[in-house]
């Protein structure tokens, strides 16, 4: 392991923003809210009133709960259609092309924004309020920064490392279900299992204290909302409280590891040799992304799977009879009801996409959940079929250089988590109305009442 003696982080790197004068904090929060969510909210609400599909998707609760009709209406307009947010695609081929294109990136070129917006972004910038989809998170960083961040952590997510985690994932799943054995009442499966398994697994892998898992879940649930544009003020403030609590925890955790590093990934990141070291901001962004992405997405895979298999009971029974089918079942759940519904890319140099010339600076919205139901790739795409031969061709983990780093781990948690659940509680049934999370980018359930049988 390439570690050196513990020492403070480098001071160099992206500007940390103005000194956090306590008296200015509410003004900065208001500025941040206005520029990141308030203005987009007004704009999107207007677009939704005009019937703009992306406006509806992001502002209308019913369309958020079930976006699939809207996706089909968009698909009927062609592979790349116009929307309030710019060009948007439901096409698997176009989404794949954009994700792999070297003329598209994840960064935003702020230099093109009006001066007032640029000032507001700078003034509102504060490490402790920074979410997982803000720089320098690798999710929104282009090469060479992206290459550097990803290389530093990818060792922990190689196929070999993932395979080595299987016994831990299985033990964790079984221990959670042990606690539920004998419960005859209705149980919220999200709270008791689907949310717990991913957070315990990622905490174990990153070496963060598992005892804090309820805190992580609370902070993460609030912060997940920041992935959606145009949040109402109250939800934004709750999200920011979650982010601040998470950053405060991380700061203390990094300090402890600098004094007394272990063998885990985070210890390695805080003690990198001088020439590789991450700035404080980069360290927060990287660990927060790994932690958040590790549990805020996989919970949705598990919940969506249980609801789909309850509605297709013959397929649940077939999987119980032949557990080798769980790999395919997980791919079909990822395709049919994708935990991450959309992402975006910015065109970095003028290029043609689906016959349309897109100038540099154009933001393209990629509806991954719609691409995964593209009839040109998946026959009878609205049908849920765990034996579908090409289910794995989905874009649920994105594509190109930002392809999900944790895809192997998520698949493992899905397969092991669902197999163990079906073995332990073969008669499990949904027992009440599952409630969707009020989110657009992420798609899953807030509560999932089940009777274990």
Which of 176, 189, 224, 290 is close enough to bind ligand HEM by CB under 6 A?
290
Which of 200, 404, 416, 448 is close enough to bind ligand HEM by CB under 6 A?
404
Which of 38, 406, 417, 434 is close enough to bind ligand HEM by CB under 6 A?
406
Decide: 118 and 110 in contact? Cβ < 8 Å. yes
Using CB under 6 A, which residues numbered 311 to 330 contact ligand HEM?
A: none
Least distance in Å: CB of 142 to ligand HEM? 10
Tell me, by CB under 6 A, how many residues bind ligand HEM.
23
On the 0-12 / 13-18 / 19+ scale of CB atoms within 10 A, 314 is exposed
Q: Does 257 bind ligand HEM (CB under 6 A)?
A: no
Tell me the sheet residues that pair with 224. none
Q: Does 297 bind ligand HEM (CB under 6 A)?
A: yes
Which of 41, 58, 80, 138 is close enough to bind ligand HEM by CB under 6 A?
138
Q: Does 298 bind ligand HEM (CB under 6 A)?
A: yes
Least distance in Å: CB of 311 to ligand HEM? 20
Kindly write out the interface string for residues 143-182 of this chain, putting x where it contacts ligand HEM by CB under 6 A and - elsewhere.
Answer: -------x--------------------------------
d(CA 242, CA 217): 10
Q: Does 105 bind ligand HEM (CB under 6 A)?
A: no
Q: Which long-range contacts does 248-256 make (Cβ < 8 Å, 24+ apart)?
A: 248/128, 249/212, 249/215, 249/219, 250/283, 250/284, 250/287, 250/288, 251/284, 253/208, 253/209, 254/283, 254/287
Q: Does 450 bind ligand HEM (CB under 6 A)?
A: no
d(CA 332, CA 418): 13
CA-to-CA separations, 52 to 79, 82, 92, in angstroms, rounded: 16, 9, 22
Least distance in Å: CB of 329 to ligand HEM? 13
Three-class DSSP category at 1: coil
Which of 293, 305, 418, 452 is close enough to bind ligand HEM by CB under 6 A?
293
Among candidates 285, 217, 230, which has minimal Cα distance to 440?
230
Tell me the sheet residues that pair with 186. 451
Q: Does 80 bind ligand HEM (CB under 6 A)?
A: no
Least distance in Å: CB of 43 to ligand HEM? 22
Q: Does 363 bind ligand HEM (CB under 6 A)?
A: no
d(CA 433, CA 89): 32
**Residues of this chain that bind ligand HEM (CB under 6 A):** 138-139, 150, 202, 289-290, 293-294, 297-298, 301, 339-340, 343, 396-398, 402, 404-406, 409-410
């Amino acid at each position: 392991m390439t570690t050196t003696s513990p020492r403070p982080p480098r001071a160099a790197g992206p500007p940390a923003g103005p000194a956090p004068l306590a008296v200015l904090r509410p003004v900065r929060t208001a500025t941040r809210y206005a520029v990141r969510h308030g203005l987009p909210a007004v704009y999107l609400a207007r677009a939704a009133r005009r019937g703009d599909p992306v406006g509806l998707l992001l502002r209308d609760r019913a369309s958020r709960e079930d976006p699939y009709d809207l996706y089909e209406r968009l698909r009927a307009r062609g592979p790349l259609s116009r929307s309030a947010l710019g060009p948007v695609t439901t096409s698997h081929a176009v989404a794949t092309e954009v994700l792999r294109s070297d003329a598209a990136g994840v960064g935003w070129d702020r230099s093109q924004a009006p001066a007032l917006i640029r000032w507001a972004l700078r003034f509102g910038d504060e490490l402790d309020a920074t979410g997982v989809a803000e720089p320098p998170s690798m999710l929104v960083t282009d090469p060479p920064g992206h290459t550097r961040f990803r290389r530093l952590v990818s060792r922990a997510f190689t196929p070999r490392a993932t395979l080595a985690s299987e016994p831990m994932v299985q033990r964790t799943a079984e221990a959670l279900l042990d606690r539920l054995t004998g419960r005859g009442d209705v149980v919220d499966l999200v709270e008791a299992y689907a949310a717990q398994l991913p957070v315990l697994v990622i905490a174990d892998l990153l070496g963060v204290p598992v005892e804090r898992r309820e805190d992580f879940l609370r902070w993460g649930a609030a912060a997940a909302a920041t992935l959606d544009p145009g949040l109402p003020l109250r939800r934004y403030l709750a999200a920011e409280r979650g982010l601040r609590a998470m950053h405060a925890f991380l700061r203390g955790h990094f300090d402890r590891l600098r004094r007394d590093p272990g063998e885990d990934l985070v210890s390695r990141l805080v003690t990198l040799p001088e020439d590789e070291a991450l700035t404080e901001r980069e360290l927060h962004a990287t660990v927060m992304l790994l932690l958040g992405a590790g549990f805020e997405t996989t919970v949705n895979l598990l919940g969506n799977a249980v609801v789909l298999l309850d509605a297709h009971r013959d397929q649940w029974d077939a999987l119980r009879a032949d557990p080798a089918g769980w790999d395919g079942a997980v791919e079909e759940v990822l395709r049919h009801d994708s935990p991450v519904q959309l992402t975006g890319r910015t065109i970095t140099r003028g290029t043609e996409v689906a016959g349309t010339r897109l100038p540099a600076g154009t933001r393209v919205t990629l509806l991954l959940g719609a691409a995964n139901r593209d009839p040109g790739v998946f026959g009878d795409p609205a049908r849920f079929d765990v034996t579908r031969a090409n289910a794995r061709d989905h874009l649920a983990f994105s594509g190109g250089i930002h392809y999900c780093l944790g895809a192997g781990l998520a698949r493992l948690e899905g397969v092991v988590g669902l197999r163990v659940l079906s073995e332990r509680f073969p008669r499990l049934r949904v027992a009440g109305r599952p409630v969707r999370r009020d989110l657009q980018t992420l798609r899953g359930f807030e509560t999932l009442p089940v009777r274990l049988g």
